Amino acid sequence: MRFVVCGLLLLLALVLETAGVPGIAFGGVKPELMLMLTLLAAMIMPLGEAVGVGFAAGLAQDLVVGRFITLHAGVFVLVALAVGLVVQRFYRENFLVRLCCLLFGTALGEVMYLLGAASFGLSRPWTVNLWSRIAVVSIVNAVLGTLLYRPLARLYRRLLDHDELVKRTG
């Protein structure tokens, strides 16, 4: 059940990102919802499941973009791994830990994507403008992600209980 809900959440995020969110972009920069969901999954779910969510989210985004297919998937997997390992060492319920994970996780994901694209021929000048875009995306993702963390964590716990119940009762 939790995987079905996860898939639906990813679909909703993808549709919002392509069709809904452009209307509420902040200074021309819109939140990276798929990356944000990956980071939240890395903080809420076990590492293996979070990596799976990251791969699915990245691949879905790649298929829509149609360029550098599997680059997003690879980047999201690495980001999920990094954040998953970090939250294992720190107290994840701490507000600052969550905020920092979302902030630096988004920045790391964006930089890795740009470096990956550059190594396959699409280099961009690393100007102040580019860095400020990365900073804005990271801040937007951190704020939105922090707000969404508790409801999503609660939802995941309920789904986990439901799956356990189904498993035991057959």
Partner 1 sequence: MLEHILRWKVPLIILLVVIMVGTIHYTSSSRLTIGLLEGIGRDILVPFQWAFTRVQRFILQTVENIHTLSTLKERNAELEKQVKELRAEVLELRNYRRENEWLREALDFKNEREHDLLVAEVIGRSPSNWESTIILNKGFAHGVQQGMAVVTSEGVVGSVISCSRYSSTVLLIVDAQSATGGLVQATGDLVLVEGGQADRETLAARPLSRDTVVEVGDVIVTSGVSTVYPKNIPIGEVIAVEPRQYNLSFTAVVRPFVDFNRLEYVLIVLPQGNGEN
Which residues lie near partner 1 (CB under 8 A)? Answer: 11, 14-20, 22-23, 28-30, 32-34, 60-61, 63-74, 110, 113-114, 116-117, 120-122, 124-125, 127, 129-130, 133, 137
Minimum distance between the CB of residue 127 and partner 1, rounded to whole angstroms?
5
Q: Which is nearer to partner 1, 73 or 156 (CB)?
A: 73
Q: Which is nearer to partner 1, 86 or 114 (CB)?
A: 114
Structure tokens at 2: 């939790």
Structure tokens at 99: 């905020």
Q: Which is nearer to partner 1, 3 or 120 (CB)?
A: 120
Q: Which is nearer to partner 1, 36 or 156 (CB)?
A: 36
Minimum distance between the CB of residue 154 and partner 1, rounded to whole angstroms?
26
Gap between the Cα atoms of 45 and 17, Å rounded: 23
Minimum distance between the CB of residue 161 and partner 1, rounded to whole angstroms?
27
Gap between the Cα atoms of 79 and 108, Å rounded: 7
Minimum distance between the CB of residue 29 and partner 1, rounded to whole angstroms?
6
Measured in degrees and rounded to the nearest 5, phi and psi for residue 52 equal -60, -45
- Sequence-ordered list of residues with C-beta below 8 angstroms from that of 105, at least 6 positions apart, any chain: 35, 39, 42, 79, 82, 83
Gap between the Cα atoms of 43 and 83, Å rounded: 7
